[in-house]
Structure formats: C-alpha cells, structure tokens
Structure 1
Amino acid sequence: MIKNFVMLTFDLEEFDIAEEYGQKVSHSDQMTVTKTGTERLIALLDNHNIRATFFTTGNYAQLNPELIKAISLKHEIASHALYHSSFHKFKETDILESKNILENITGSKVTGFRMPRLKSFDHKVLSGWGFVYDSSINPTYLPGRYNLLHKSPLPYRENGLLELPCSTTPTLRFPLFWLAFKNLPIGLYAALCRRTLRKRKNLMLYFHPWEFAEIGDFKMPGYVKSPDGIELVDKLDKLIQNLKKQDAEFVTCQEFCETLEIAGESMKSV
C-alpha cells in the first residue's frame, strides 16, 4: 500500500518582509519576531510528535546558534541561502557558506536547499556542493512572480538533484502555499490538501515562523499579516489534526527523499 506523506516546511529567516512594503524593521525585531513564531511552532510539532524541515538562512543561524542546535535535535535543518533580505547582494558562494555554517552548528550534514523567494538556481552547482534535493519550485502561475506551469508537480530528478516541488492542486494547479493557508477558511484549505494528497501521495507545504508571531502592527497588506500569532498556530493545529485523519505520515524532506530512493520510484515529469 502506497503511503501518503506530508512535509511541513518552514522558511526560518530574518523577519524582513515588512521592509518590502517600505517599513524599516530593526535588527532586534527581525530576530525576536522570528524566534517567537519558531518557539510556538516547535511546541505545536512536539505536541503532535511530528518532524518537520526548517530551511534556515546562514545569517539567522549564526545569530541564533543555540536555537538552531535545539531544533536540529528532532527536526531537519536545510539551507535557505545566507541572507533572505533582497537588500543584501547575493553571491553564488553564499549558498555554500550557509551550508557550512549550518553543518558546523548542528553537527549534521545539510542535504536540502530552498532559494529565498523561490528563485531558480543551477542544480548542477547544488549537486556539486553535496546537496541531495532542492525545493524551490512552485509549479503554478503567480502574476508578477513566475509562470512555472511547465514544471512537474511531482518529485523529479534534474542534473543529479531531486526536486521536491511545492504542492499545487491537481488540474488547476492552485498553489497550497502560505498565503493560501492564511487566507482560505481552514475547511476549504484542508479539503484542497486532502484532494492533492489522494492524487499525488505527498504534500509539500511551506510557511514562515514569523507568521506565527504577532505582526499586526507592521505596515503590510492584510492578506500578508492576518491572521497571525496564536490564531494562526491554532489554524495549523487544525490542519495537522485533519491530515492525521487521512493516515498521513509526517516526514522531513530528507526522509521523503529516502523513501523515494528505497522504493526506486520513477520520478518523471507528469
């Protein structure tokens, strides 16, 4: 019997999104907001006894090594490049530097990568640096961002790397990303997840720890910041309970890759 796998993933980064809307966020607030949300998420995951993957920037890890080490004792730490903010000029070697930082802090190999803002990056380079998988593809159409409808919604291999696409619904390719979770009624969002899980046999969902802190006072659009805090934690709790009823197995991205390798499944574009 083929199992249904759910990957809960969190982009653990500096809280800088308000700066995209013109509000300067102090360094202290960037760290505190993210830490508050992260601690709430860890408590929720512990309550359900499930593991998740935290795509972490090297910068945030360097500034919060004890938190990252503690997370790594149960969950997977993967790379989210060195900085998340677009105000830092990106260098290709930032990715390798972030990998080294995370491995030094956790004492474990870092095998996964997600590019900030889901931008593309050369799979050959990532594979050469020792990454096993990438999860930077959202195979949908988002006006003003990207049109990736030509990409497979299922896991596939490309230039020696496993690509784990972010989940979209069958047929319409509606993205099940963080904004959909935040803005749709939980009943509808959970139903879309169940339908996708039945069809694809896996769910790759992604969120940000800062969403689960109180961010209502920051100058951002309502659809970005609300709901937040404990209300959003409760919403994720309901989603997890709902998916557990589908006999879903919650795994880290690395664990999911291992199931694919063991099963010898074909990962062709579909």
Structure 2
Amino acid sequence: MIYLSFDIEEFDMPKEYGYDIPFGQQISVSREGLIAILDLLKKYDIRATFFSTVIFAEQVADLIHRLIDEGHELASHSYYHSEFKIDDLENSRETLEGLFKVPITGLRMPRMKEVNAEDVKRAGFEYNSSINPTYLPGRYNKLSSPKRYFKEGDLWQIPAAVSWFRIPLFWLSFHNFPLWLYKFLLKRCVASVGYAALYFHPWEFTDLHQKEYNFPSYVMRNSGELMIARFEQLLQYIKKQGWKTGTYNQIITNK
C-alpha cells in the first residue's frame, strides 16, 4: 500500500531563509501547485490525504471542495503554518468541518512540530501524522520512534515513511535522490513495513528558482515542471508495482 499525502498551506517557507513574500503570493503559489497535484491524481485515479491549514483552505475553498468531491481526505495542518497555540488544534478541526461539512479525523503539525498525544486526542482527532522517524540535523531526532503506525494512549500515530537504515522518503529525498534510488528505497520500505506513508507540498510543483525565496539548491532541485514530470513517473511506478493506494484514515480503519 502507498499512502500519499500533501501538506497544503500558505507558502511561508521563504521566511525560514530570511525573506517574507506577500500573503497573496503565498496563496497563489500553493494554489498553482495544488491544481497540478489534483490533475495528476485524477489522471491516475489515485486517492490521497490533504493536510490543510485553515488559512489556506479559506482562500482556496473551490479547490478544497474539488479534492473532497474527487474522493480525497481532508485533514488538519493546524490553523496557521507559522504560528501555533494549543487552542489551534480543536479550532482548526471545528472550522474545517464547519466550512466543508466533512469529518476531520487527522492532524499533521506544520514542520512536523512535536505535539502532545493527549492534547491531539482531546481536540477530537483520531490520528496524528507528525513524526518523521529519522534524524534530520537542526529539526529533530526521532530515531527511537516506530516506523509503523502505532497507538499512543487513545491516539493513532502514523509516522512518515523511512527505508533502509531509516533513510527518509519525504519530499527532500524525492527531489535530491536519483529516481532509481528513490524507487529502490520505496520498494524496500513497502516490503519491510507493509506500506509507505509519503508526504509532499504544492509549492514543490512550482518553479522555486526565485531570488526572493533565497532557497538552497537542495530545496529547488527538481521543482516546478521537473517535479510534475518526476511525480508522474512515481505514480506510474506505483501502478506498475500493483500497489494499492489510499487515504490516511484508511490506515487506522483497515488495520
């Protein structure tokens, strides 16, 4: 099984590199990328989970309705992408449910921020997908976390996919590894864990070679049209392997 997910948010990542682009541009960049993603998933008849901030969802309500209508899962990415207070957990779930009339059962924190399982459960979520069980310098050290989904108290935890020696299969790996190597590691992950839970962002599907972003080369590599082509090859590979695909809430309902 392959479980694809996308963190859809206001594109504020340039702030991490000393630049702050206008809010309208943050929305338009992510909107452009989200359309590309939805078109690809529709072409290959694949369902995925979209973790959205409330702020972004409010600005692109038409696309949120589209992804719901096309069978994808809507989940929470908190209220804002660069600000957080504990009340945002419940407020984000309730606001998304009120706006789009679907149950919101899953959470992924922006930038995989650590969050207390009891707080997440108290806010009404069934699962959290904010753990990358690897070591990323300057971000986190989660080498002791399980690679497979697990229960923490009453909350399901769904870690991101890692492969051999806990090599992460997240978005940066996809951009920087040769595609043959990424496919090899993905196949090993599925063989050992039984599934792979992958995540990407809409802005990866746009041209990141902009001076005002100030991104290092490893962030920009294989973005825009190259990312669209590369991701389509991944979807073709998934189909060729005969792997089923699904949404994150199916992980815990089909356990």
* Matched residue, 1:71: 67
Q: Which moved more, 1:219-228 or 1:152-161?
A: 219-228
* Matched residue, 1:57: 53
Matched, 1:198 2:191: yes
Runs of 4+ in 1 over 6 A off after TM superposition: none
Matched AA of 1:144:
G
Deviations 1:134-155 (A, max 9, x none): 1000111111211111110011
Contact preservation (8 Å) 2:89, 2:123: no
Residue 111 (structure 2) aligned to one of 80, 93, 117: 117
Contact preservation (8 Å) 1:68, 1:105: no
**C-alpha displacement of 1:63:** 2.0
**C-alpha displacement of 1:24:** 1.8
**C-alpha displacement of 1:105:** 2.0
RMSD: 1.0
Query: How many pairs align?
Result: 252
Matched, 1:127 2:121: yes
TM-score (norm 1): 0.91
Whole-Å Cα distance in 2 between the matches of residues 224 and 101 of structure 1?
32
Contact preservation (8 Å) 1:153, 1:167: yes
Matched, 1:84 2:64: no
**C-alpha displacement of 1:128:** 2.1
What SS does the corresponding residue of 2:254 show, helix, strand or coil? helix
Whole-Å Cα distance in 1 between the matches of residues 15 and 220 of structure 2?
13
* Matched residue, 1:23: 19
Superposed, 1:218-229 pairs within 5 Å as 218-229=213-224
Whole-Å Cα distance in 1 between the matches of residues 189 and 121 of structure 2?
29
**C-alpha displacement of 1:129:** 2.2
Contact preservation (8 Å) 1:194, 1:243: no
Whole-Å Cα distance in 2 between the matches of residues 234 and 47 of structure 1?
13
What SS does the corresponding residue of 1:248 show, helix, strand or coil? coil
Residue 152 (structure 1) aligned to one of 121, 146, 154: 146
Residue 105 (structure 1) aligned to one of 94, 99, 104: 99
What SS does the corresponding residue of 2:244 show, helix, strand or coil? strand
Contact preservation (8 Å) 1:69, 1:105: no
* Matched residue, 2:252: 257
* Matched residue, 1:212: 205
Structure 1: gaps spanning 5 or more residues = 261-270
